[in-house]
A and B are shown apart, each in its own frame.
Chain A
Amino acid sequence: MAATIDIKSLSKTFGTGPQAVHAFGPVDLTIEAGSFVSLLGPSGCGKSTLMLMVAGLLEASEGAIYFDGERVGAPRTDIGIMFQDNTLVPWRSVEGNIALQLELRGLDPKPYAGRIRDLLRSVKLDGFAARHPYELSGGMQQRAAFCQALVHEPETLLFDEPLGKLDAMTRESIRTDLQALWMTRRPTVVFVTHSIEEAVQLSSVVCVVTPRPGRIERTIEIDLPWPRDMEVKASPAFTRYVHDIQGIFRDYGVL
C-alpha cells in the first residue's frame, strides 16, 4: 500500500561554523498516500536535498521524516528513485539495467522477465531490451531508467528532475506515460521540478519552494480533471494555476 509521508520541522545545513550553508527548512509537510506531490522551485532552493532526505539518503540536520509513522533513519529500500542523470550502467543492456535493480536487492531477475517486458512495452521500448544505453536517445534512456525505478513494484516513487535534460516533445510524451502510471497504480509520488507547467500538469498537489534556504511557501491543490491532456492544458483553469504560481516566484524576484 502507498505510504503517507510526514515531514516534521525538517531542515538541512551543510558544513559548520562560518562556512555553514543553510540549504533547506524548517519545513512541515504531509504527503498523503497515493498523491502526486511536486516540489517546485528555482535551482539551488534545496528541493533535491529534501527528496534525498525523504529517501533516507541524506541525514537531516533537524526534524524528522515518517513513512506511515515509521521514522526514516536509513536509506528506504521500498521506494523507486529516479534522477536527472539516469542510473543506467553502460556495460548492461536495457533489460540488464532493469534487472540490476533486482540483483542489487539479492533477487533473481528470472521470475521478473514478464514484468520487465510489460514495463518496456508500457514505455514503448519493446524491441530495445537487448540494446545498450549508448544506443538509445536521451528520452529512451530516461524511459528505461523509469522501468528500472519501477520493476520492484515500489509504492513510493521519488523523481529528481527526471525530465530536466530532455527536449520539449520527449518531455511531453514521458509526462503522459508518468501520468498513466500514477492513475493506474496510485503510488505516492514526490516529483522535484523547476517547470511550473510540468508541476501543474502532473500533480495533485504542488508545493512551491522558495529560493535558498528553501521553505514551502504555498501548498496548492490542483483541481483539474484527469488525464491532463492537451485539452486540459489549454483550459483557462490550467493557465490560471500557472499564472498564480508565476506570481509567487515573481514576488521572490526569481522570474
Chain B
Amino acid sequence: MVSSNAPRDPVPAGAGRLIRAVEWLVLRIAAAWPFLLFFVGFFLFWEYAVILFGVPGYILPTPSEIVTRGWADIPRLLDYTLVTGTESVLGYLLAVAVGLPIGLAIAFSPMLRRTVYPFFVSLEMVPKIAFAPLFIAWLGFGLLPKVIIVVLVCFFPVALNSIHAFGSLSDELTRFCRSTGAGPLRTFWKVRLPAALPQCFVGFKYAALNATVGATIAEFMGSDQGLGFYISIATGNMRPDLAFAGIFFLTLLGLALFGCVTLAERLLIPWHISQRRH
C-alpha cells in the first residue's frame, strides 16, 4: 500500500538540481541543433574538401591541422591574446570614459551641439584606421599607439550614441519632470540617465566589436607582439595554420569582450525590451 504521506519527489535535492541542469543542457542543445549541425557540417566539409582537392597546407590547412599546430604553440598564443586583450580593453574603457561624458556634454549644450557635434559627425566619416601608421610613426611599437588607435575606433560609436541617448527624452517625460519642479540633477539621476542607457549600450556594443579590430590592425602596422603581429608573421612565413589559430583566439577575445558588455547590459537594463525573456 502506498502511504499518502510519501514524498512526491523521491529524488534527493542535490540530485534533483543535477537532473534539472542536465535537462536544461539537453534542451539548450536540442534548441541549438540546427546551428550545431551546420557548424559541424561546415568544418567537416572544409576538412574533406581540402583533402579531396589536394589543396596544399601552405594555401589552406585543414581544421584538424590548425588545432594540432595551434595547440603546439599554445603558450605563445595565450601570451599574445593577453597582449591584444590588454590593448583592446584599455582602449575600450578609455573610449567609454571619454566618449560618454563628451556625449553627455554635447547633448546638454546647445553651443557644443552647433560646434563640436557637426565636427564629430564629419570625423565619423573618416576611416579612423587610416591614422594607424601615423600613430605608429609618432609613438613607436609600444602599447600606447595601439591603445590610442583602439580609442579612436571605439570613441565615435560611444560618443555619438550618447549624444543621441541623452538628447532624446520624450516631450511628455520632459514636461512631467518640469511640472514636478525637479532640478536638472535630480531629473538626470531619476529619469534622463536610466532612459538613456539602452541607446548608450548600442554604442558600447558597437565599440566592443570595433576594439579587437582596431588592436589587430594596429599590430599589423607595427608591432613585435600580439595576435595581429602573430597572424601577420605566420602569413608571411606561409603558415596559414598558425594564422588561423591566431584568428581563432582573436575571435574568442572579441566574443569575451562583447559578452562582458552584453552581461553589463543585462544587469543594468533588465527592464528594456531587448533584454526581456518571453
| Interface assignment of A153: CB less than 8 Å from any CB of chain B | no
| Interface assignment of B182: CB less than 8 Å from any CB of chain A | yes
With a cutoff of 8 Å between Cβ atoms, the chain A residues found around residue B271 in the complex are 90-91, 132, 134
Beyond A104-B187, A132-B271, whether A52 also contacts B180 by CB under 8 A is: no
| Interface assignment of B277: CB less than 8 Å from any CB of chain A | no
CB pair A104 B175 closer than 8 Å: no
Beyond A85-B172, A91-B269, whether A55 also contacts B179 by CB under 8 A is: yes
Q: Which residue of B lies closest to A148 (CB)?
A: B176
Beyond A90-B271, A91-B194, A100-B190, whether A77 also contacts B175 by CB under 8 A is: no
How long is the Cα–Cα vector from A134 to B182 in the complex, in angstroms? Answer: 25
1/0 contact string of B257-273 vs chain A (CB within 8 Å):
00000000000010111
CB pair A87 B173 closer than 8 Å: yes
With a cutoff of 8 Å between Cβ atoms, the chain A residues found around residue B181 in the complex are 75, 77, 104-105
In whole Å, how far is A128's beta carbon from the nearest beta carbon of chain B? 16
Give B159-187 interface residues, CB cut-off 8 Å to A.
170, 172-173, 175-182, 186-187
Q: Which residue of A lies closest to B269 (CB)?
A: A91
Give B124-174 interface residues, CB cut-off 8 Å to A.
170, 172-173
With a cutoff of 8 Å between Cβ atoms, the chain A residues found around residue B176 in the complex are 81, 83, 87
CB pair B179 A79 closer than 8 Å: yes
Q: Which residue of A lies closest to B273 (CB)?
A: A134
| Interface assignment of B195: CB less than 8 Å from any CB of chain A | yes
With a cutoff of 8 Å between Cβ atoms, the chain B residues found around residue A103 in the complex are 186, 190
CB pair A104 B190 closer than 8 Å: yes
| Interface assignment of B191: CB less than 8 Å from any CB of chain A | yes
CB pair B173 A57 closer than 8 Å: no
How long is the Cα–Cα vector from A81 to B178 in the complex, in angstroms? Answer: 11
In whole Å, how far is A108's beta carbon from the nearest beta carbon of chain B? 14
| Interface assignment of B28: CB less than 8 Å from any CB of chain A | no
Give A84-107 interface residues, CB cut-off 8 Å to B.
85-87, 89-91, 100-101, 103-106
CB pair A104 B186 closer than 8 Å: yes
The number of inter-chain residue pairs (CB within 8 angstroms) is 59
Number of residues of chain A lying within 8 A (CB) of chain B: 23
CB pair A83 B172 closer than 8 Å: yes
Give B234-278 interface residues, CB cut-off 8 Å to A.
269, 271-273, 276
How long is the Cα–Cα vector from A91 to B271 in the complex, in angstroms? Answer: 5
How long is the Cα–Cα vector from A178 to B35 in the complex, in angstroms? Answer: 54
In whole Å, how far is B142's beta carbon from the nearest beta carbon of chain A? 43
CB pair B182 A89 closer than 8 Å: no
How long is the Cα–Cα vector from A165 to B177 in the complex, in angstroms? Answer: 22
How long is the Cα–Cα vector from A4 to B181 in the complex, in angstroms? Answer: 21
In whole Å, how far is B198's beta carbon from the nearest beta carbon of chain A? 9
| Interface assignment of A76: CB less than 8 Å from any CB of chain B | yes
Give the residue of A81, A86, A91, A106 whose beta carbon is less than 8 angstroms from that of B175: A81
With a cutoff of 8 Å between Cβ atoms, the chain A residues found around residue B186 in the complex are 103-104, 106
With a cutoff of 8 Å between Cβ atoms, the chain B residues found around residue A86 in the complex are 172
Q: Which residue of B lies closest to A102 (CB)?
A: B180
How long is the Cα–Cα vector from A83 to B173 in the complex, in angstroms? Answer: 10
In whole Å, how far is A14's beta carbon from the nearest beta carbon of chain B? 14
In whole Å, how far is B55's beta carbon from the nearest beta carbon of chain A? 54
How long is the Cα–Cα vector from A38 to B87 in the complex, in angstroms? Answer: 63
CB pair B180 A105 closer than 8 Å: yes
Give A185-242 interface residues, CB cut-off 8 Å to B.
none
How long is the Cα–Cα vector from A83 to B191 in the complex, in angstroms? Answer: 17
1/0 contact string of B179-219 vs chain A (CB within 8 Å):
11110001100110011000000000000000000000000
Most buried by B among A57, A79, A85, A104: A104
Q: Which residue of B lies closest to A90 (CB)?
A: B271
With a cutoff of 8 Å between Cβ atoms, the chain A residues found around residue B273 in the complex are 90, 134
Give the residue of B179, B190, B272 whose beta carbon is less than 8 angstroms from that of A57: B179
Could you jot down 30 A-B contacts, CB within 8 Å? A57-B175, A57-B178, A75-B178, A75-B181, A76-B179, A77-B179, A77-B181, A79-B179, A81-B175, A81-B176, A81-B179, A85-B172, A86-B172, A87-B173, A87-B176, A89-B191, A89-B194, A89-B195, A90-B272, A91-B269, A91-B272, A100-B190, A100-B191, A101-B180, A103-B186, A104-B177, A104-B191, A106-B186, A134-B271, A134-B273
- Contact residues of B with A, CB < 8 Å? 170, 172-173, 175-182, 186-187, 190-191, 194-195, 269, 271-273, 276
The 6 tightest CB contacts between A and B, nearest first, are A77-B181, A104-B180, A104-B182, A87-B176, A91-B271, A83-B172
